[in-house]
Structure 1
Amino acid sequence: MHTLTFDSDDLERTEDFLSRAYAKMRIGSNTPETSRARISRSGLGPITVDELDLDFDMSYAVTPLNRICLCAVHEGTIRDHVYQGVEDSFGPGDVVSFAPPTLSYAGRVCGARYNITMLDPALLDQVAATAAPTLTEPVRLTGHRPHSPAAAERLRQAITYVRDHVLTEPAVADQPLVVSTAAQHLAATVLSTFPNTALTDPTPADRRDAHPDALRRALAYIDDHADQPITVADIAAEAHVTVRALQYAFRRHLDSTPLAHLRRVRLSHAHRELQAADPHAETTVTEVAARWGFFHPGRFASLYREVYRRTPRQTLLHG
C-alpha cells in the first residue's frame, strides 16, 4: 500500500505534482494568486484512488495516462472535457471514464471536489475476454458514460468501499489475496458499468469446450492455488478454455461461477485456520479473513454463518 498527499497554492508546483502523479500535462488559471489544490492518494497494487479538492478554476491538457481513469464528482463541475470524438461536462453525482488509456484529453475543473480512480487496463482481461480469443486484442471500454444511474451508483459504492475499507487498513491491504480480490471486483464492476468490447455470452466453441474434463482441471487448479492471487483468466488458461467457456462450465455443471467457487475454497481454509488458532493468542477474525482474500468483514461473517451455522468468532474462541 502506498499513500501521498499534496497541498499547495502555487500553480507551478501543482502542475509539476500532477504531471508526476498522472501524466505530463499543462494547467492554467485566471486566478493564479488563489489557486489552492489539495490532493490525497491511496494505492493498492494496480489501483490508485485519489481525492482532489480544487477551490479555483483550472484548465488542463493531459497526455495519455495509459490507465483507465474514472472520475466521480462530489461538488462543483468539470466542463468542456474533450478527447477524440467526445465533448462533455460533469457535475455532482456523475461517475465517468475520463478517456481511453491511449488518448490525450483536456477540459476545465471549476471549483470542484472529486475522486479519481485509476486502474491497469490489463485488469479487464483478467475477468473477461473479447469475441476473438485467438487474438491478443484487449478488452476495452467503448463509452465514457455508465449504462444507467444504478450502474453508476454501484461503481461509486465499489470505489468508496475500496478506498475506505481496504486502502486505509494496512493489515488488510498488505495481504496479496486482498489485492487480487479487490482489483478483480473493481474491474468486474467497471465492465458492468460502461459499454465495452467484452463478450459475455458463450460462443458455440465455448459451449463445446465447457465439458467435465475442463471443469475438473479448473477445480484442481483452484484447490492447488487457493492461497495465491489467481484470476479468472489464470483458471481458464489452466483449464485450456476461454474465460467464457470456463464461466459457462461452472454455470452448467455446478450452478456457480469460478470466483464463487474460489471464494468457497478460501472460506474452508479460513475455517480451518480459525479452528486451529489459539483463542488466547492475538489472532483476529479480520486478520484470518484478509489472509484468505476477504476484505469485507461483514460479508465474510455472513458467508461463514451461511456455511458453518456459527460466527467466525465463535469458531475462533471454541474451535
Structure 2
Amino acid sequence: MSSSKRVENRPDVSQLRSCLSNGHTDRRDTDVVVFDSTDLPATERLFTRAYSQTTICPDGGQPPEAHFQRRWYGPVAVDDLDVRFHMTYEAAPMRRICLTHVRTGTIEEDVAEQGRDVLGPGDVALFCRPDSPYSGRVCNARYAMTMFDLDLLERVAIHDGEPVRLLGHRPVSAEAERFVHATIDYVRSLAAEGAPASPLAAASAANVLAGAVLSAFPNTAMGTAGRPPERTGSRPALLNRAIAFIEENAASPIVLSDVAAWVHVTPRALQYMFKRHLEMTPMAYLRRVRLDHAHRDLVDADPAETTVQRIADRWGFAHTGRFAAAYRQTYGRMPSDTLRY
C-alpha cells in the first residue's frame, strides 16, 4: 500500500514539474513543497522533477518509504530528504551546484576517476559535478540538499575569463568543511524562518553561499596566485569608476563580475586594485556602502513606522544580529538606538 500527501494549498506531485523548475520568480519565498510516499514510481518522478532525469532501484527489501521537503530562499533551493530504504540511483547531469549534508545513514557516491566515496553522518560534500551524470547508493539516509544555479558560481568567481570548473567533491580541508557547513546552515536558517526576503537580501545570501563553495572546494579559480599586469597610469581612474558604479548600484544585487565588467578589467585585477589602494575587497566596500545607506535610513526613519529588521533587509542584511554587530563596530552604537533617537 502506498500513499502520497501534500501541504494544504501547496503543489502536489503532479504539479512538481512547474513548481520545481529552475526558475521560481512566480512563487513566494515562503512556499513549501512536501512529498511523502511509499510508491517507488512516484518517488522516481519526484527525484526527476526536483533534480534531473533519475532512475532508482530498491536494494535491500525494505518498503520504499521516502520523505521530501523543499523551501526556497531567493535563488537557493533548500531540501530535506529522508530515504528510509536502500536504493541505487543513476541520473543525468543536474546543471546546478548541489551541496549535501548527511545527517544519518550513508550515501555512496560514484566519483569520476576516483571510484566510490562513502559520505557518513556529518559529512558535507558536493552531491555531483554539475556537468556530469551521477550515480550511487543511498542507504537509509536522512540528508539535506542545498542548490543554486551554476551561473551564480561564474558571477561570483574571481577568474580571468575561463569558465570555472569544480575539481573535487570534498572540501579542501577540515577548516574549509566547517566554513561551508556554517554557511549552508546560515542560508538554510533564513529559509526556515519563512518570512519573504527582499530581492537584495536573498541575492546577497546566495552570493555568500556561492563564495563559500569557491573557497571550500577545489576549482580552477582557486589558488591561481599571480599579480595582474600593472597599468599604473590607469589604476586611479579605474578605481574611481568602480567605486562610482558600486555606490550608484548599492541597492541592486551586483556581484564582483558586474563591477569588473563595468570597468573592463578581470575580476582578479579588480580585486587586486581594491586591496592595493583601499585595503579591502570590492565586495567588502559594497557592504560598507550598504551599511552606510542603512545608517542614513535609521537616522531619518520614524520608529513608529519601521523596524531595524526592515531597514537591514532593505539593504541586503538578512541576519539582523550580524547587521547589528557590524553596525555597532562601525558607528559605536546599536542600530536600535539610532532608530529610537
The TM-score with structure 2 as length reference comes to 0.86
The percentage of counterpart residues that share the same residue type is 47
In structure 1, C-alpha distance between the alignment counterparts of 2:179 and 2:48, rounded to whole Å: 30
CA 1:264 to 1:138, structure 2 compared with 1: closer, same or farther past 3 Å? Answer: same
Aligned to 2:24: none
Contact 1:5-1:41 at 8 Å conserved across structures: yes
Deviation digits for residues 136-162 of structure 1 (CA, Å, limit 9, x no counterpart): x31121111111112111111111110
CA 1:94 to 1:17, structure 2 compared with 1: closer, same or farther past 3 Å? Answer: same
Aligned to 1:247: 271
- 1:33 deviation in Å? 6.0
| Secondary structure at the counterpart of residue 289 of structure 1 | helix
In structure 1, C-alpha distance between the alignment counterparts of 2:94 and 2:237, rounded to whole Å: 42
- Root-mean-square deviation (Å): 1.8
Query: Is there any run of 5+ residues in structure 1 with no aligned partner, and where?
Result: none
Q: Paired residue for 2:172, among 118, 124, 147?
A: 147
Deviation digits for residues 43-102 of structure 1 (CA, Å, limit 9, x no counterpart): 2333212111111111111111011121111111112x2143232111112111122211
1:65 equivalent to 2:94? Answer: yes
1:110 equivalent to 2:124? Answer: no
Deviation digits for residues 247-296 of structure 1 (CA, Å, limit 9, x no counterpart): 11110000011111111111111111111111222x11111101100012
Q: Paired residue for 1:121, among 131, 150, 153?
A: 150
In structure 2, C-alpha distance between the alignment counterparts of 1:274 and 1:227, rounded to whole Å: 16
In structure 1, C-alpha distance between the alignment counterparts of 2:228 and 2:334, rounded to whole Å: 44
In structure 2, C-alpha distance between the alignment counterparts of 1:292 and 1:251, rounded to whole Å: 24
In structure 1, C-alpha distance between the alignment counterparts of 2:182 and 2:302, rounded to whole Å: 36
- 1:226 deviation in Å? 0.6
In structure 2, C-alpha distance between the alignment counterparts of 1:177 and 1:258, rounded to whole Å: 17
Deviation digits for residues 125-182 of structure 1 (CA, Å, limit 9, x no counterpart): 222243x43xxx3112111111111211111111111011x213354x4311112211
Contact 1:202-1:248 at 8 Å conserved across structures: no
In structure 2, C-alpha distance between the alignment counterparts of 1:21 and 1:32, rounded to whole Å: 25
1:306 equivalent to 2:329? Answer: yes
Aligned to 1:84: 112
* Mean Cα deviation higher: 202-211 or 36-45: 202-211
Read off the aligned partner of 2:164 and give its amino acid letter: V
Deviation digits for residues 109-135 of structure 1 (CA, Å, limit 9, x no counterpart): 0011111111211112222243x43xx
In structure 1, C-alpha distance between the alignment counterparts of 2:125 and 2:254, rounded to whole Å: 29
Query: Is there any run of 5+ residues in structure 2 with no aligned partner, and where?
Result: 1-28
Q: How many residues align?
A: 310
In structure 2, C-alpha distance between the alignment counterparts of 1:94 and 1:228, rounded to whole Å: 35
Aligned to 1:46: 75
Q: Paired residue for 1:22, among 35, 51, 57?
A: 51
CA 1:40 to 1:206, structure 2 compared with 1: closer, same or farther past 3 Å? Answer: farther
CA 1:199 to 1:73, structure 2 compared with 1: closer, same or farther past 3 Å? Answer: closer
Aligned to 1:278: 302
In structure 1, C-alpha distance between the alignment counterparts of 2:51 and 2:287, rounded to whole Å: 34
Q: Paired residue for 2:317, among 269, 284, 294?
A: 294
Contact 2:274-2:282 at 8 Å conserved across structures: yes
Contact 1:127-1:184 at 8 Å conserved across structures: yes
CA 1:110 to 1:158, structure 2 compared with 1: closer, same or farther past 3 Å? Answer: same
| Secondary structure at the counterpart of residue 275 of structure 1 | helix
Contact 2:62-2:86 at 8 Å conserved across structures: no
CA 1:277 to 1:160, structure 2 compared with 1: closer, same or farther past 3 Å? Answer: same
In structure 1, C-alpha distance between the alignment counterparts of 2:312 and 2:105, rounded to whole Å: 39
Read off the aligned partner of 2:283 and give its amino acid letter: L
* Mean Cα deviation higher: 41-50 or 236-245: 41-50
| Secondary structure at the counterpart of residue 316 of structure 2 | coil
Contact 2:214-2:222 at 8 Å conserved across structures: no
| Secondary structure at the counterpart of residue 166 of structure 2 | coil
